[in-house]
Amino acid sequence: MQPIQLFDPASSTYTYVLFDEATRDALIIDPVDNQLERDLNVLRQYGLKLAWTVETHAHADHITSAGQLAEHAGAKTAAPAGCGITTAAVQLADGDVLPFGGEHIKVLHTPGHTAGSMSFVWRTHVFTGDTLLIHGCGRTDFQSGSAEALYHSITQVLFKLPDTTTVWPGHDYQGRTHSSIAAEKSGNPRVADKTEQEFITIMESLNLPKPQRMDEAVPANLTSGVRHDAGGAGAIELRAAAGYAGDVSPALACAWWQARDAVLVDVRTDAEREWVGFVPGAVAIAWKQWPGMALNASFDASVQAAVPAGKKLVLLCRSGVRSVAAAKRATELGLEAYNILEGFEGDPDTEAHRGNRGGWRMRGLPWRQG
């Protein structure tokens, strides 16, 4: 039995539909938002009940239709636990099994293109997302990518599958549809007969342009592609401000941070983060200052050490007040500093935010209970 392979020409993305021939329960991998009608038609045409939408990672080049498929087709959403897709009903871990009718896929954690990236094995097929492409692989220069991790995932995880396994990639930019583990082992120019160091050198010299839709796609995909109107969860906003580089919406701050264009500094105290929730991967540098208090030398030293030259600094506090003070101070220190609007929780007392508040946590951006 073969998977149904569907192609989105705008982003060269492959979407896959797998199903149980007897029960008609189905699962879709990496659906694309502007192909929603096509995918609903495929489900109708084959008489399928969509049990799951599954992501291989949080995509940077297109927006998923997972949230819409959940709404229209009643599917449950699943995504890799390490991708920060907080709206997914099931957060997948390595080795998990996702059943649909009498069939199932098995989850393999294959980090490298992004830290959370996963591949899925179904019968004699593997869906590799952007971990392994046909005679290529996903880039590793943004979204917590790592060439070292990718080399390991390809050679030590995917290449351990049987040679006859069919490889179904997340993209192909040259019209190829599938490959096999044997063909990639012997013919993939990035890994065949290459050492880890040679692979890293290749990946570091790719110099690919950033995906055109990245700033829009990453924040939208962190909420299963459910986009909201201005002020909503996925709103992208940058406003000028006096005394620092600007105010940014939580979604835009998150996109910059995930693209590694910015360092995210959480200026709340340890106690606040433990009590309310923390943002994994954010640098914690508490802003402790009140009228009459001398300048906070430890803040200055820590923030300067945290932000490499050429990167933006985005600052998060509880409600968006301390982060403004910290942004002003960081600007005096020579940094390009932005305040994240509404903070982690949103500001219940600010008229401008009333009925439209949320903050980082409520907008479904990555966070964990303390």
Contacted by 35, from ligand GSH, Fe ion, none: CB < 5 to 8 Å by type? none
Q: Is 55 in the site for ligand GSH (CB under 6 A)?
A: no
Q: Is 130 in the site for ligand GSH (CB under 6 A)?
A: yes
Contacted by 212, from ligand GSH, Fe ion, none: CB < 5 to 8 Å by type? ligand GSH
CB of 157 to ligand GSH, least distance (A): 18
Q: What is the DSSP string of 63-127?
A: -B-HHHHHHHH-PEEEEEGGGT-TT-SEEE-TT-EEEETTEEEEEEE--SSSTT-EEEEETTEEE
Beta bridge partners of 196: none
CB of 311 to Fe ion, least distance (A): 22
Q: Is 130 in the site for Fe ion (CB under 5 A)?
A: yes
Q: Is 31 in the site for ligand GSH (CB under 6 A)?
A: no
CB of 61 to ligand GSH, least distance (A): 4
Residue 169: closest CA among 180, 161, 160: 180
Candidates 69-77, 122-130, 225-233, 358-366; binding stretch for Fe ion (CB under 5 A): 122-130
Contacted by 211, from Fe ion, ligand GSH, none: CB < 5 to 8 Å by type? ligand GSH
CB of 59 to Fe ion, least distance (A): 5
Q: Is 139 in the site for ligand GSH (CB under 6 A)?
A: yes
Token pair 């592609």 is at which residue?
Answer: 225
What's at 236, amino acid-wise?
I
In this chain, which of 208, 240, 293, 294 binds ligand GSH, going by CB under 6 A? 208
In degrees and rounded to multiples of 5, residue 13 shows phi and psi of: -95, 135
Q: Is 318 in the site for ligand GSH (CB under 6 A)?
A: no
Q: Is 60 in the site for ligand GSH (CB under 6 A)?
A: yes
Residue 59: closest CA among 116, 135, 132: 116
Q: Is 8 in the site for Fe ion (CB under 5 A)?
A: no
Q: Taking CB under 6 A as the rule, which mask of x and - marks residues 141-180 in contact with ligand GSH?
A: ------------------------------x---------
Give CA–CA dist 287/9, Å, rounded: 48
Beta strand 90-92 with 76-80: parallel, antiparallel or unpaired? Answer: parallel
Residue 365: closest CA among 56, 52, 58, 28: 58
Residue 285: closest CA among 249, 326, 244, 339: 326
Give CA–CA dist 72/90, Å, rounded: 18
In this structure, what token pair is assigned to residue 183?
Answer: 């063909």
CB of 211 to ligand GSH, least distance (A): 4
In this structure, what token pair is assigned to residue 153?
Answer: 């995932």
Residue among 221 and 319 whose Cβ is closer to ligand GSH:
221
The helix or strand, by DSSP H or E, that contains position 332, with its residue range, turns out to be helix 322-332
Candidates 17-25, 89-97, 205-213, 249-257; binding stretch for ligand GSH (CB under 6 A): 205-213
What's at 80, amino acid-wise?
P
Residue among 63 and 69 whose Cβ is closer to ligand GSH:
63
CB of 144 to Fe ion, least distance (A): 12
Give the interface with ligand GSH as residue ranges (CB under 6 A): 11, 59-61, 130, 136, 138-139, 171, 208, 211-212
